DNA sequence: CATCAGGGCCCTG
DNA sequence: CAGGGCCCTGAT
């Protein structure tokens, strides 16, 4: 099952994101549960990428500043199965997934002195909402996130990578790369259940089948208007109101909407915005809309991630109480 | 020991 | 449109 591939060759390229740009804030999201497909340290980020049926290893190095951004990107590949990777296509895809070309200058200058956003802005000015994942991969991640605690989510993801993913080595890292949905489409549900995913086995099967038979054209989904896109996403088994919200901002970079606040986030925003334990979600949504208008999703992302960066460095007792391991 | 909710969603009535 | 059920595990 667990095969390993040495990504023995690489190409090197430079990417110039639009300014301002936060390298660390965009590439590493401390609020996300850890997965064995990426690694991070200050100014340096490693990520596997399964693209066009090939495994890649990406190494991002911060070679610029917030106002003069520059990323050195190494794309590692397996020379025996691929002679010349399509670097341009890969770079375009990476730029989209990490939203490297988006313009946030209006937002960053407008809210530089905002009472709530100001401090986060000093640290993460130019941060984007991003994900390294394809839509299929994203649905897998959100599926193992549902109705459980973080420890189990991490374990489920580990089991799935271990059984269906590919261990790749590059740049002195060994990380797992995502599988083709066909892999899970071909396994039976009982085998999946043995990986402790519980009732989610059915969901994972149906999602894999969907992506195999429909070959979703992500490029065209990215062009859709939001309502059509939302309808399409909600038609995927296992995607409901919470996941569709995450998908719209993380995968498709809609920064101007937030319509749904799940209970645990409600508690966090209650603390951060109102200094209370529990505030009604409608009140929170109204407040966010009034303060940040068309940037409201990006705004709460700054607030949220800033909090989780803080948690990396020191303990935040009230937050720890909300994170159920 | 038993019960219950957890970083939702589907399905039923 | 409200509410029960879902695999499992740790908290209570």
Strand B contact with A308 (CB < 7 A): no
Give the C-alpha separation, A75 to A56, whole Å. 7
User: Protein footprint on strand B: which nucleotides are under 7 Å from a CB?
Assistant: 6-11
Give the C-alpha separation, A183 to A23, whole Å. 34
CA–C1' span, A89 to C10, in Å? Answer: 46
pLDDT at A294: 96
Strand C contact with A214 (CB < 7 A): no
In tens, the pLDDT along A42-86 reads 999 999 999 999 999 999 999 999 999 999 999 999 999 999 999
pLDDT at A60: 98
Instruction: Report the nucleotide nearest the CA of residue A148, measured to C1'.
Output: B6
Strand A54-62 relative to strand A9-15, pairing? unpaired
Give the C-alpha separation, A147 to A167, whole Å. 28
Chain A 167-196 contacts with nucleic strand C (CB below 7 A): 193, 196
Mean pLDDT of A94-103: 97
The token pair that represents A61 in the structure block: 């190095």
Above 90 in pLDDT, residue A264? Answer: no
pLDDT at A324: 76
Question: A318 or A203: whose pLDDT is higher?
Answer: A203
Give the C-alpha separation, A23 to A36, whole Å. 20
* Number of helical H runs and strand E runs in chain A: 16, 8
Above 90 in pLDDT, residue A128? Answer: yes
CA–C1' span, A104 to C8, in Å? Answer: 43
CA–C1' span, A263 to B9, in Å? Answer: 15
| % of residues, chain A, pLDDT over 70 | 99
Instruction: Report the nucleotide nearest the CA of residue A198, measured to C1'.
Output: C7
Give the C-alpha separation, A299 to A121, whole Å. 10
Strand B contact with A263 (CB < 7 A): yes
Strand B contact with A152 (CB < 7 A): yes
Asked whether the beta carbons of A2 and A40 are under 8 A apart, the reply is: no
pLDDT at A2: 56
In tens, the pLDDT along A289-315 reads 999 999 999 999 999 999 999 998 888
Strand C contact with A95 (CB < 7 A): no
pLDDT at A277: 82
Strand B contact with A323 (CB < 7 A): yes
Phi-psi region of A214 (alpha: psi -120 to 50; beta: other; left: phi over 0): alpha
Indicate the pLDDT class of residue A184, thresholds 50, 70 and 90.
very high
Strand C contact with A151 (CB < 7 A): yes
Indicate the pLDDT class of residue A203, thresholds 50, 70 and 90.
very high
Above 60 in pLDDT, residue A253? Answer: yes
């Amino acid at each position: 099952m667990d095969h390993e591939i040495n990504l023995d060759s690489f190409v090197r390229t430079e990417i110039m994101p639009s300014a301002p740009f936060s390298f660390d804030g965009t590439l590493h999201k401390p609020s996300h549960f850890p997965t064995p497909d990426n690694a991070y340290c200050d100014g340096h980020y490693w990520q596997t990428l399964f693209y066009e049926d090939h495994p890649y290893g990406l190494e991002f190095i911060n070679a610029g500043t917030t106002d003069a951004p520059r990323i050195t990107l190494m794309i590692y590949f397996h020379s025996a199965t691929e002679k010349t990777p399509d670097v341009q296509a890969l770079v375009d895809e990476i730029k989209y997934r990490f939203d490297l070309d988006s313009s946030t200058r209006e937002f960053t200058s407008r809210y530089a002195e905002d009472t709530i956003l100001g401090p986060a802005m000093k640290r993460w000015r130019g941060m984007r909402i991003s994900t390294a994942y394809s839509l299929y991969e994203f649905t897998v991640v959100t599926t193992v996130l549902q109705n459980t605690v973080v420890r189990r989510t991490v374990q489920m993801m580990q089991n799935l990578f271990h059984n269906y993913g590919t261990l790749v080595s590059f740049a002195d890292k060994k990380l797992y790369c995502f599988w083709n949905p066909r892999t899970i489409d071909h396994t039976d549900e009982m085998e999946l259940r043995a990986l402790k995913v519980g009732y989610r086995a059915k969901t994972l099967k149906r999602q894999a089948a969907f992506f195999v038979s429909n070959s979703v054209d992500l490029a065209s989904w990215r062009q859709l208007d939001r309502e059509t896109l939302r309808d399409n996403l909600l038609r995927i088994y296992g995607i409901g109101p919470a996941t569709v919200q995450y998908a719209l901002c993380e995968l498709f970079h809609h920064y101007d909407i937030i319509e749904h606040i799940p209970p645990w986030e409600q508690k966090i925003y209650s603390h951060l915005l109102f200094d209370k334990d529990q505030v009604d979600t409608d009140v929170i949504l109204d407040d966010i809309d009034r303060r940040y208008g068309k940037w409201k999703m990006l705004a709460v992302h700054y607030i949220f991630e800033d909090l989780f960066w803080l948690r990396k460095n020191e303990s935040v007792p009230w937050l720890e109480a909300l994170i159920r391991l």
